[in-house]
Amino acid sequence: MKTSAQIRQDFLDFFRSKEHKIVASAPIVNKDDPSLMFTNAGMNQFKDYFLGNKTPDRRRIADTQKCMRVSGKHNDLEDVGRDGTHHTMFEMLGNWSIGDYFKPEAIAWSFEFLTDKMGIDPDRLYATVFEGAPDEGVPTDEESRTEWLKVLPAERILEGNKKDNFWEMGETGPCGPCTEIHYDMRPQEERLKVSGRDLVNIDDSGVVEIWNNVFIQFNRKADGSLENLPERHVDTGMGFERLCMVMQDKEATYDTDVFTPLIAEIERLTGHKYGGSYRPEAKADMATRVIADHVRAVAFTIADGQLPGSGGAGYVVRRILRRAVRYAYSFLDQKDPFINKLMPVLVREMGAAFPELKQQEGQITKIIESEEKSFLNTLENGLTRFANLDAQSGTISGKDAFELYDTFGFPIDLTELLAAEQDLKVDIEGFAAGLAAQRARGRADATKVVGDWTVISSEDSTFIGFDYLSDAGAQITKYRTV
């Protein structure tokens, strides 16, 4: 069985052999781009190439990119721990063509890598291609289908809609169809029963998306219309942990060697034996997964210079850490700082691929420990307060949620999580009002992310509804600049 380190290396070596330049991951924290707090895809650092603002010294590039999807357009936080495929922080393996090769090579190489190099059974692969958008004059992506038909049977090439198979950088700018590669995780009996076109919904059927190949060929203009780009590009992203899951024949990413050393350390420190259960009542198993996930997110962001704090990206880091602390406290009986104790194992496992972790190990450990300490000071009282709230209506009032936030340091998503565990709702609107009132008294801070690069500024903006994450960590305000 290949180790995760070997798999990562094999990917980079494969694309090096196809004349790609291997570059370093960009930082996971996006200090230079006010519109995007965290890197959420491999292509972020190459955005200017696609926009034509810069020319790369090499037209073929590959890397592994540290990504985080906890805010803005991609927010997977609620899935973390509940499923075995979504993380806060993950690595995205990617290869790019900046005006060089296009669909035939990209698809052929994806298939070659997965089947020849990785030895994955081609009979378990599915591809999706864009069904087209006739109203916009975009035809079905027959070019991709033609390539796939060379290696896959027609019944395992499915058509997908705009949501899954058409990528746009923002409201305007580069965009195009994508083809996604999925792996059938189901046992053989089930595969024999239902397969191919009979799968109703590929994402809900035990078939897991592993690799997205985006073909950037259009430019969306301000009036909404599309024009062909003079140069066409390829942008791909494959979930490294998911690839390891497939390669190591596991049911979840947590069962691969990316996570098992961390989980073993959590078991050793807490005495809880991880059982790999996803049943809602298996809280300690869920907590184990959440902690194994969150410690990576927190350690990697601190290593890249984003400390936990009270606003912006810092607050996102803080609430991820607080979420981990609460899981450890409630379900693994950890009443003292604990998350920081996972650092030696994390560094031992990831320090070779990401030396920044190793270099700052002491510092990161101290920061996590002091954050843990300060939250643990109020956590117990906050949980007692929460248990005594009047929620007879089935909803926790905005005022109470704001008190938990303000007095006990509970990020709103933590309150929502606690509420959901008891089938309660939270009056988010009321909470937002409390927060806004506090903000009005303090500073104004409302940089929001809605697309991959759409900056929504706080100036002259109008509240238009609840849609995505704010600094306070909940689905709060959606603004439209007027």
Q: With binding defined as CB under 6 A, does residue 304 bind ligand ATP?
A: no
Q: Which is nearer to ligand ATP, 86 or 318 (CB)?
A: 86
Hey, what are 411's tokens? 């990020």
The one of ligand ATP, Mg ion, none whose footprint includes residue 211, by CB under 5 to 8 A per kind, is ligand ATP
Residue 111 amino acid letter: F
Q: Which of 7, 23, 28, 92 binds ligand ATP (CB under 6 A)?
A: 92
Hey, what are 451's tokens? 């697309």
**Local structure of 11: helix, strand or coil:** helix
φ/ψ (deg, to 5) at 257: -75, 0
φ/ψ (deg, to 5) at 391: -125, 40
The one of ligand ATP, Mg ion, none whose footprint includes residue 293, by CB under 5 to 8 A per kind, is none
The one of ligand ATP, Mg ion, none whose footprint includes residue 114, by CB under 5 to 8 A per kind, is none
Q: With binding defined as CB under 6 A, does residue 90 bind ligand ATP?
A: yes
Sites for ligand ATP among residues 164-223 (CB under 6 A): 209-212
Distance CA 10, CA 12 (A): 5
End-to-end CA distance of the chain: 56
Distance CA 30, CA 9 (A): 25
Q: Which is nearer to ligand ATP, 128 or 270 (CB)?
A: 128
Q: Is 316 left (phi over 0), alpha (psi -120 to 50) or beta?
A: alpha
Q: With binding defined as CB under 6 A, does residue 242 bind ligand ATP?
A: yes
Torsion 154-158-162-166 (CA) sign: negative
Comparing every residue's Cβ against ligand ATP, the nearest one is 239
φ/ψ (deg, to 5) at 147: -65, -45
Interface with Mg ion by CB under 5 A: which residues? 209, 212
- Distance (Å) of CA 63 to CA 43, 66, 106, 238: 10, 10, 15, 11
Q: Which is nearer to Mg ion, 168 or 267 (CB)?
A: 168
Interface segment toward ligand ATP; rule CB under 6 A; list 52-60, 238-246, 259-267, 452-460: 238-246
Q: With binding defined as CB under 6 A, does residue 76 bind ligand ATP?
A: yes
Q: Which of 81, 99, 132, 239 binds ligand ATP (CB under 6 A)?
A: 239
Q: Which of 143, 147, 241, 416 binds ligand ATP (CB under 6 A)?
A: 241
Q: Which is nearer to Mg ion, 144 or 360 (CB)?
A: 144
DSSP alpha helix (H) spans, 409-446: 412-421, 428-441
Q: With binding defined as CB under 6 A, does residue 66 bind ligand ATP?
A: no
Q: Which is nearer to ligand ATP, 84 or 337 (CB)?
A: 84
Q: Which is nearer to ligand ATP, 148 or 211 (CB)?
A: 211
Taking residue 212's Cβ as centre, other Cβ atoms within 10 Å add up to 23
Hey, what are 342's tokens? 């996972």
Q: Which is nearer to ligand ATP, 90 or 113 (CB)?
A: 90
The one of Mg ion, ligand ATP, none whose footprint includes residue 92, by CB under 5 to 8 A per kind, is ligand ATP
The one of Mg ion, ligand ATP, none whose footprint includes residue 210, by CB under 5 to 8 A per kind, is ligand ATP
Q: With binding defined as CB under 6 A, does residue 93 bind ligand ATP?
A: no
**Local structure of 238: helix, strand or coil:** strand
Nearest Cα to Cα of residue 66 among 318, 235, 241, 248: 241
Hey, what are 441's tokens? 């008294």
Hey, what are 219's tokens? 């430019």
Q: Interface with ligand ATP by CB under 6 A: which residues?
A: 41, 69, 76, 86-87, 90, 92, 209-212, 237-239, 241-242
